[in-house]
Chains A and B, each alone.
Chain A
């Protein structure tokens, strides 16, 4: 059995994800690739729209209303002859602003509240946990109405509503992970080395919850896009002069009987981008998660590879560390 010829040819070795750069790890998965391409497209068209759109946004021509797709207007025109493609390209600007704003707010709020509700002393912590649990029940729409009813709709309403509504959710998801990380041996070890609270948070706690945070924030980005469409339709989002995908959809829906295709484009763009953001988040999580990056995950393959490489019997292959396995198992079942 030890003759070299009988050993199965070594299968191409699974590359060690620790050594390859992050972007390549994301690119390896189909979802990550799709997400990266769409997100890049949105960013490029947002930047492009600042200097150029196929037609000027306010260029109207009522004789050219509701044109179907054609060479001069690939996606057709709206009621007063404005070019649909130009408005969608310009709308990506609003998308970028809303998504970045919401994600930033939700991230800061989520991490801040998450850390406080995990680490504050006694009663203070318990009341914060209860408060977060209550606020989670408040739908984004109701927060938006609370802001828009007295002050009127605006992009800020969308960003604040999504940021606050999703931020408390992020805090609730992060809290158990932060608690677990804060009580772990490596934080204790760091403390024994004399590190301060801020340093321990920055170097040990936040990186541990990083993958979870990334997934949460990618969902916030998706939620921001979906909410923008709903809120703009109800009149709490961007004012009429601001190009946005939600506005394109809301305006087209009045004329669904006349120009059904004009409803398709903004909806497609929104759905494709939400999907991209979600898939990109999943790929980023897989690439970031230190537990997924260690080659423990393939119990069947590992001994074989080890045997092929060293010529030893499979039984002597080092068993995967039980601690790592346990962690990987619990990581999937975050409440």
Chain B
């Protein structure tokens, strides 16, 4: 187990390194002279020269890269070109919105996807199960953006049929008033959760259908358990394995969904910040932000893989790279 965790950590480190190289190449090397890109077409030669010397853009690319990396290791993400505030401070602040948003989104997705997936898997040969499955196919085909808009039309304050929840912004005093903060995150989290939940439902359903004819469930039935009892007591550990893998896969689309939804609901989170920074060509900040978001996805993958290892007894003794 320790060996596995060490190997997996090693893979994680390699992953970060490869991603950082990729991000650096795409943003610093490919565009040619980055100072020109940042300065825009109207910048004077003097302004560009200042940009270069202030941000160390005149140093050789390799030392720019190693500077960036060593800064990252120390938690120094660089300084924003526009606001001149350390990027790490800004990011930490924005995660007060993005973190809870993602957690709420994935909670909604699991609350919807798991029970409904198990239910429709148990009833996959009946009309009710087929209807759930068809509806899920439909929901999974909806763009997150549209899901958010539909929710606004249904529940949004001022616009919606039900006139319930705020659709724009986040309280200025942040989490000082938890109720209001939660309210403003509810619709965006629902938008993410619905779409992700449909995917989780589909995977749970097929995992249940796959588990149903297994011998261990037949044994449980022979011992007097009903089909549902047998599945819930003996089958769930097996089903949870495939659900875990889906969560790892969904981490990437969760990040994407969060960025879109933050922009739609005007939430001051990390996603909106990234979009603004791209628009302002604050490439040094964009570079660190993209690496952070990619790292987030890699961390989820790492945690899921290790959890997978812990809860699946079949994998404990086998050493697999």
Known: A146-B27, A267-B150. A249 touches B141 (CB 8 A): no
Known: A234-B263, A332-B210. A140 touches B256 (CB 8 A): yes
Against A, the Cβ 8 Å flags (1 = close, 0 = not) of B123-165 are 0000000000000011011111110011011000011000000
With known contacts A256-B153, A271-B138, A150–B294 Cβ distance under 8 A: no
Check A149–B283 contact: CB distance below 8 A: yes
Q: For residue B144, which residues in chain A have a CB less than 8 angstroms away from its CB?
A: 226, 230
- Complex contact B158–A257 (CB within 8 A): yes
Q: How far is the CA of A109 from the CA of B140 in the complex (A)?
A: 25
B301 within 8 Å of A by Cβ?
yes
A125 to chain B: closest CB distance in Å?
A: 12
Nearest residue (CB) in B for A335 is: B245
B303: interface (CB < 8 Å): no
Report yes or no: B260 in contact with A150, Cβ–Cβ below 8 A: no
The stretch among B72-80, B83-91, B272-280 that forms the contact with chain A is: B272-280
A320 within 8 A of B: no
Q: A142-B293, A275-B138 are in contact. Are A267 and B256 (CB under 8 A)?
A: no
Given the interface contacts A150-B283, A233-B260, does A137 sit within 8 Å of B11 by beta carbon? no
Closest Cβ of chain B to A333, distance in Å, is: 7
Query: Which among A150, A229, A266, A271 has the highest number of chain B CB atoms within 10 Å?
Result: A150
Are A131 and B18 in touch, CB under 8 angstroms? yes
A141 touches B255 (CB 8 A): yes
Which residues on the A side are within 8 Å of B152 (C-beta)?
256
Contact of A235 among B18, B253, B279, B294 (CB under 8 A): B279
- Interface residues in B232-286 by Cβ distance below 8 A to A read 251-253, 255-256, 259-260, 263-264, 274-275, 278-279, 281, 283, 286
Give the CA-CA distance A145 to B210 in the complex, in Å.
39
Cα(A249)–Cα(B148), bound, Å: 12
Given the complex, which residues of B lie within 8 Å of A138, measured CB to CB?
19, 22, 252, 294, 297
A250 to B263, CA, bound (A): 11
Report yes or no: A253 in contact with B138, Cβ–Cβ below 8 A: no
Among candidates A137, A147, A267, residue contacting B149 with C-beta atoms closer than 8 Å:
A267
Per-position binary interface string of chain A over residues 125-147, scored 1 when its CB falls under 8 Å from any chain B CB and 0 otherwise: 01000110111011111100111
Contact in complex: B279, A270 (CB < 8 Å) = no
Q: Which residues of A contact B158 (CB under 8 A)?
A: 257
Asked if residues B286 and A145 are in contact (CB atoms below 8 Å), the reply is: yes
How many A residues are at the interface, by size bracket? 35 or more
* Bound-complex Cα distance A229 to B149 (A): 13
- Whether, in the assembled complex, A91 has its beta carbon less than 8 Å from a beta carbon of chain B, the answer is no
Q: Are B274 and A145 in contact (CB under 8 A)?
A: yes
Report the separation of the CA atoms of residues A247 and B293 in the bound assembly, to the nearest whole angstrom. 26
Q: Given that A234-B260, A256-B152 are contacting pairs, would A145 and B290 also be in contact in the complex, using a CB cutoff of 8 Å?
A: yes
Chain B: number of interface residues, binned into ranges: 35 or more
Judge whether B146 and A148 touch: CB under 8 Å.
Answer: no
8 Å CB interface, A278-310 against B: 278-279
Complex partner residue of A278 from B27, B137, B255, CB under 8 angstroms: B137
Whether B27 and A260, one on each chain, are in contact in the complex, defined by CB atoms closer than 8 angstroms, is no
Kindly identify which residue among B23, B253, B279, B301 contacts A139, using a CB–CB cutoff of 8 Å: B253
Query: Which one of B22, B149, B283 has the greatest number of beta carbons of chain A within 10 Å?
Result: B149
Q: How far is the CA of A150 from the CA of B27 in the complex (A)?
A: 7
Contact A130 B11 (CB under 8 A): yes
Q: Tell me if B301 and A137 are in contact (CB < 8 A).
A: yes
16 contacts between A and B (CB under 8 A): A135-B18, A137-B19, A138-B22, A142-B293, A148-B278, A149-B286, A222-B141, A225-B143, A256-B149, A256-B153, A260-B153, A260-B159, A263-B150, A270-B143, A278-B137, A332-B210
Closest 4 CB pairs of A and B: A150-B31, A267-B146, A274-B141, A146-B26
Other than A134-B19, A226-B141, A233-B263, give 16 A-B pairs with Cβ distance below 8 A: A137-B15, A138-B252, A139-B293, A142-B294, A145-B290, A147-B26, A149-B27, A149-B278, A150-B34, A225-B143, A230-B260, A260-B159, A267-B149, A271-B138, A274-B141, A279-B137
